[in-house]
Amino acid sequence: MPVTQQHLSDLELQRLRDKKRPLVALTAAALAVLCMSLVAAVAWMSWSSWHVHLREAEVTTANMAQALAAQADTALKVADVVLESTVERAEDADVKDRDGLHQHLMHLAAKAAEIHGLFVYDATGRWIATSLPTPQSGNNAERNYFMFHKTHRQRSTHISAPVRSKSTGLWIIPISRRLEHPDGSFAGVALATLRLDSFERVYNSLNVGEKGTIFFALDNGTLIYRRPFQERQIGSDISSGAVLRTYRERGPAGTAMLMAKLDGVERLYSYRHLERFPVVVAAALSKDDIFARWKSSSLQLAAGALGAIAALAWFFRMLIRQIAIRDALEAELRIATGELEKANAALESIASQDALTELANRRRFNDVLDHELKRSQRSDKPVSLILLDVDYFKKFNDTYGHVAGDDCLRKVARAVSAGANRTEDLAARYGGEEFAVVLPGTDGAGALCVAESIRKALLAMRIPHVHSAEGIVTISLGIATAHPDPARMADKLELIRRADALLYQSKSAGRNRATA
């Protein structure tokens, strides 16, 4: 390959190397992007799952609160209706006998399954009549509801904190109304009681988890019932608790994540205030219970993501290692290729150069002459060939020795090289003491001038030669020219034979001359 083409090829390769992306850095960036994408996907899935669990819990607690409110409202409405009938009968001026009132109360209690018992007390707290199967006697003047009606002229239904029934010993919720004489003075109390365990059965049927809760309280903060049930909590004041505060701030219904006052557990509460009664019911699931499954699935998801990231890291580490090995091998290959190219160039130079004279050798001469003859046919320009021979060289060797003979050939080569001074000219050692010059684009006259310049350059060196007529080394030259022929291309061997014939013609004519 010509040097210029090789140079252009090297430049192109260098340009491509310069444009090559740093693959290791690109691979590391790809790993980082993949890992961040995976982490982002896991975070988004976890965040979405968290909101789904929270929303499901909100719906669950809201539905439970609604069911609890409906159950409490039904029971209180029944008690209110029964009390209204009881008050009407007890305040009837025509009713004087206790037996008739007793039968009326038994009849009302039998019709309302929610009612535990009905009672009528006079102004001193004595039992006038009950719904119990047998008449009972006693006094309830010390009860809070009795004292409330005695000191308040409120005619509406009053709900009190649970107490133990004097007749049955069960926990009951007192629902009471004031009795009045025709003049408006206090005449006593009508009482309907609801069994607390009837609420407990309903509340226990709802699944609120291990740390969930349900409670039923008056809106003034008096706790009526709370699950899990503890007697000591009945009637306690929870007005400063989170649920009651939220109720006062946000209105009759709502859902919020709150910290319980009684046990310090954070829960999702849904509460409702009854429309007709001063009662608040609430259902709550603990935050731990709500997000227990979410935590488990999120941990599994995170573990899977970490495993995937570790696998990706291992894979990319191996990939980067292979890339690094490949780059190292590529660099070594480039170095080896460069050294091989240099070696090939040196070998090519050796293969095409005469070792003694450093001119082109016979092989190079043949290749160039073939090439120039073909180019001559295309360019329509002549090609000239000079063949020259050192006169009496064998005698020179015999007289002065082979070392001097080699030195003589090197000096002749310098003269030949000086004559063939154009870039496209080729000076070659043809063999032994014979030399050749290929002159592209040169006619016979021009070639003769070159031949004479070579002959004179050698004469100027004045190399002693006792067997030469001039006493110095001389040369004889033959010049042949090939002109382009459209009919056929010039024959290389024919051109060489013509130049050789003219060379021997110069020798026959006395040597030290050029013949064209």
Other CB atoms within a 10 A radius of the CB of residue 148 amount to 16
Ranges of beta strands (E only) in 251-382 are 253-259, 266-273, 279-286
Per residue, the 3-state secondary structure of 108-164, as one string, reads HHHHCCCEEEEEEEECCCEEEEECCCCCCCCECCCCHHHHHHHHCCCCCCEECCCEE
More confident residue, 31 or 480: 480
- pLDDT average, residue stretch 300-315: 83
Q: Are 409 and 357 in contact (CB under 8 A)?
A: yes
Res 3: pLDDT: 47
- Average pLDDT in the chain: 87
| 269: DSSP letter | E
Q: How far apart are CA 150 and CA 134, in angstroms?
A: 27
Mean pLDDT, rounded, for 105-129: 88
Tokens linked to 477? 């030259």
Domains in the chain: ranges and CATH: 23-290 (3.30.450.20), 362-515 (3.30.70.270)
pLDDT greater at residue 365 or residue 17: 365
For the chain, the C-alpha Rg in angstroms (whole number) is 62
Closest by Cα among 258, 279, 294, 122 to 191: 122
C-alpha–C-alpha distance, residues 467 and 475, integer Å: 13
* Nearest alpha carbon to residue 481 among 369, 382, 401: 382
**Residue 479 banded pLDDT, cuts 50, 70, 90:** very high
Length of the chain: 516
**Token pair belonging to 514:** 């050029």
Which backbone phi and psi does 386 adopt, to 5 degrees?
-110, 125
Distance of alpha carbon 15 from alpha carbon 19, whole angstroms: 6
Q: Is the dihedral of CA 449, 454, 457, 459 positive or negative?
A: negative
Which value, to the nearest 10 degrees, does the dihedral of the CA atoms of residues 267, 65, 248, 76 take? -140
How do 475-482 and 514-515 pair as beta strands? Answer: parallel
94, pLDDT greater than 70: no
Q: For 355-409, what is each residue's pLDDT tens digit?
A: 899 999 999 999 999 999 999 888 889 999 999 999 999 999 999 999 999 999 9
pTM of the model: 0.57
| Contacts of 302-310 spanning 24+ positions with Cβ under 8 A | 302/42, 302/46, 305/38, 305/39, 305/42, 308/38, 309/35, 309/38, 309/39
Q: Is the separation of the CB atoms in 457 and 435 below 8 Å?
A: no
pLDDT (average), residues 139-148 = 92
Residue 361 neighbours by CB under 8 Å, 6+ apart: 351, 352, 353, 354, 428, 429
Q: Residue 132 burial by CB count (10 A; 0-12/13-18/19+): exposed, middle or buried? A: middle
For 28-50, write each residue's pLDDT tens digit.
787 788 888 888 888 888 888 88
Whole-number Cα distances in Å, 508 to 129, 210, 416, 478, 500: 172, 130, 22, 12, 12
For the residues of 207-254, what is the DSSP string, one character each? Answer: ---SS-EEEEEETTSBEEEEESP-GGGTT-B-TTSHHHHHHHHH-SEE
Residue 268 clears pLDDT 70, i.e. is over it? yes
**DSSP secondary structure letter of residue 490:** P
- The percentage of the chain sitting over the pLDDT mark of 70, rounded to a whole number, equals 93
Residues 6+ positions from 74 with CB-CB distance below 8 Å: 114
